Amino acid sequence: MISRIPRNVRRMTTFEKLNFDNQALKQLPVDSSPDYLIQRPVPNACFHRVKPTPVDEPKLVAISEDALKLIGLDPSEFLRSDAAEYLSGNSNFPGADYAAHCYCGHQFGNFAGQLGDGATMYIGEVLKENGSRWEIQFKGAGKTPFSRTADGRKVLRSSIREFLCSEAMHNLGVPTTRAGSIVVSFDTTVIRDKFYDGNAHEAEPTSIITRLAPTRFGSFEIIRRGGPSAGRLELATQLADYTIKTCYPQIEDTDEKYKQLIKAVSEKTAELIAKWQLIGWCHGVMNTDNMSIAGVTLDYGPFGFMDRFDPEFICNASDNRDGYQGRYTYSNQPLIGKWNLMKWAETMEHLVPRLEARECIQESYDETYMAALISGARSKMGLFEELDAGLKIWLYFFGAERSEERSPLKITGAERSEERSP
């Protein structure tokens, strides 16, 4: 609910005065052809310019002042009568440059070709006075060249779920995309199969969520065979240089900067997944296109928190059928994170030889993950003395060694059984 803004909040900036910089569209190739509503391959480009599709009678139903302060917005802006017009895409932010991101990815272990932002739009990047940069996105603002047979819309229930979880994750200390606002239109509706039982008959209100987010692993995979820019190695180089400049500037002038990039991303990813494990959170669909190169939690789809400790916890019903056999279980998440890194590094084989990249990932990821897991577990339990046997103890405690079938968490953590309700 939108409430009265406290008087003592320091005034910042307005919708009209956001400092858009939009370096991604200046430094990476963009397809600006006007046929953005035609579903097609988008070769030789990292983005395609688009326009939001208006909704009728948008209403602002939720905001995160904490998240929107990241881009300098004054909280009083959300009390404006036209706030929902801006945050739905009906009115354009001055300086914004709307685009859909072209990317590929491995889905459930198999390369899926071109995917892209089918329901998400890049609005632009806001540069703060302190030098921080945040990419703003709309999720659910209409069709793009990557929407395939879908309508580019999101429904209110899924937007609320993402809004609540992303802000909860942030406050749990887990790096994440941020959700700034939700706008709903009860007059613009879409048909959805709410229970995934083949009965898609009920019209639901559409919603648009404002998201603050960096880039994805999958961006690099457009150069793979079967991708829209197959063989265009220079695109991967451009993406690597852009990533270093914007996310890892500390390595820009170092020797072997591309190997250092692989190391830095591996460490960020390992730290992130350790934090997931420590709070019993499952992503549910850890495809390569749903991983962030900046090491933040991205894409809140079929996620889930464990009610009881269960290493084989599956939160995505699709991961428990069609032969997938629980690829993205809780216990598999650390392994999948490393696998995704290996696939990403393959797109930079012309910059870092494959074997060298794999060795770099193997060493930096495993060491960082275990250090973060042990440190986080000790902190949660209030243990300050570090024992030499700590690694073995924590591996046993979490059941991280697959040979250990009866870890203390499985025994005492109310391990789910047939006798207990799910």
Active site residues: 289
List, in order, residues 6 or more apart from 34 with CB less than 8 Å away. Answer: none
Q: How far apart are CA 103 and CA 220, in angstroms?
A: 7
Torsion on CA atoms 58, 51, 217, 400, rounded to nearest 10? 20
Which string of DSSP letters, residue by residue, matches 103-149? -EEEETTEEEEE---SSEEEEEEEEPTTS-EEEEEEESS---TT-TT
Residue 133 class from Cβ within 10 Å (0-12 exposed, 13-18 middle, 19+ buried)? Answer: middle
- Candidates 129, 132, 190; CA nearest to 159 is 190
Other Cβ atoms less than 10 A from the Cβ of 193: the count is 11
Residues forming beta bridges with residue 101, ordered by sequence position: 47
- Candidates 277, 279, 375, 268; CA nearest to 334 is 277
- Candidates 54, 59, 33, 34; CA nearest to 45 is 33
Contact 177, 212 (CB under 8 A): yes
CA angle 16/17/20 to nearest 5° reads: 105
> For the chain, what's the residue count?
422
Q: How far apart are CA 377 and CA 195, in angstroms?
A: 37
For tokens 């990047």, the residue is 125
The identity of residue 20, as a single letter, is: F
Contact 195, 125 (CB under 8 A): no
- Do strands 47-49 and 30-31 pair parallel, antiparallel, or not at all (unpaired)? parallel
Contact 342, 361 (CB under 8 A): yes
Q: Interhelix angle for 354-381 vs 333-346, to 10°?
A: 150
